Amino acid sequence: MKRNGTKLTGAMLLCVALLAGLPFFIACGGGRPEQEAQVVQVQVTDNGIEMQNPLPTGLTTFQVTNSGTREHSFGLTGPSGDLKLEEPLKPGETASMEGIVLDTGTYRVYSPLDQGDAMQIALNVRPDAGTGSS
């Protein structure tokens, strides 16, 4: 090979090939993969709210089931904002709250239709909480 720049070395050819393919890589979704939402099962009964606690931070879907004998609902307030189901759940009904990004902190989980300490819990969210914790 000549050193006067008329021929490309193997390393230079590799760099040119990688740079030429970069737009294709980006256009085909070569960025970060979408984060998959963790699904948290919630049972609202006539006597309280049952769910995994603590939870890890990140994208979350709450699947809420009314296991009680009267209408209940589900609400969450904390570092990620104030959220609640749009409609109350009749006994046996299930609804989902999707696309919620949980930030680190303590949340208040409650049933907006019910009064009393039994119908609210403190939910702890932290990055190191494993999905198998309860």
Q: For residue 86, is it within any domain? A: yes
pTM higher than the cut 0.85: no
Mean pLDDT across 65-72: 97
Q: For residue 49, is it within any domain? A: yes
Mean pLDDT across 16-21: 57
Eight-state DSSP code of residue 25: H
The domain in which residue 71 lies consists of: 38-125
Element (H or E) spanning 21, and its range?
helix 10-27
Question: What CATH number has the domain bearing residue 43?
Answer: 2.60.40.420
Q: For residue 15, is it within any domain? A: no
Q: For residue 107, is it within any domain? A: yes
Answer whether residue 82 shows pLDDT above 80: yes
Find out whether 33 and 57 touch, Cβ atoms under 8 Å: no
Q: What is the pLDDT of residue 19?
A: 57
Structural domains in the chain (count) = 1
Three-class SS state of 119:
helix
